[in-house]
């Protein structure tokens, strides 16, 4: 990472939904962004917490056995390791995530919507 990163500018570079793009690295973690719309799949990451920050729109995080968390712009939540969750954009959101490198978006669910994030 040689220069600063504008989150909004990076979001302007792609249109795919639910396709995380890596915009920076922090030690062994990836900083990623995604455009999300509608429902994702229930999944969990056994060993890794997952950081979500909404930069545009609204994202609901459905959490197994707990109340939903609804994030607006400038709001964040960390899904604890091992907790099943399902992100649902209402109806659309732009988000920033931070996860340990190698974490796959669908976690334990394995799924046709699993993608390996690429650098943007």
Residues that bind a second copy (CB under 8 A): 1, 3-8, 23-27, 29, 31, 48-49, 51, 55, 69-72, 74-78, 80-81, 98, 100
- To a second copy, the closest distance from the beta carbon of 50 in angstroms equals 8
**What is d(CA 104, CA 2) in angstroms, rounded to the nearest whole number?**
26
Residue that has been written with the tokens 């197994």 in this structure: 64
Which one, 30 or 111, has the nearer CB to a second copy?
30
- To a second copy, the closest distance from the beta carbon of 59 in angstroms equals 10
Residue that has been written with the tokens 């939540």 in this structure: 77
- To a second copy, the closest distance from the beta carbon of 112 in angstroms equals 28
Compute how many other C-beta atoms are within 10 angstroms of the C-beta atom of residue 69. 16
At residue 52, the 3 state secondary structure works out as: strand
**Do residues 24 and 1 make contact, with C-beta atoms less than 8 angstroms apart?**
yes
Pairing of strands 50-63, 85-100: antiparallel
- To a second copy, the closest distance from the beta carbon of 110 in angstroms equals 23
Which one, 78 or 114, has the nearer CB to a second copy?
78
Which one, 48 or 85, has the nearer CB to a second copy?
48
């Amino acid at each position: 990472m040689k220069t600063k990163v504008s989150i909004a500018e990076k979001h302007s570079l792609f249109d795919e939904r639910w396709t995380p793009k890596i915009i920076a690295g922090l030690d062994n973690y990836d900083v990623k962004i995604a455009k999300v719309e509608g429902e994702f799949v229930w999944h969990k990451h056994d060993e890794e917490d997952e950081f979500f920050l909404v930069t545009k729109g609204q994202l609901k995080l459905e959490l197994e056995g707990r109340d939903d968390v609804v994030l607006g712009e400038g709001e964040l939540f960390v899904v604890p390791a091992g907790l099943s969750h399902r992100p649902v954009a209402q109806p659309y959101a732009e988000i920033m995530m931070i996860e340990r490198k190698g974490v796959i978006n669908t976690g334990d669910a394995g799924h046709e919507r699993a993608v390996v994030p690429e650098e943007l």
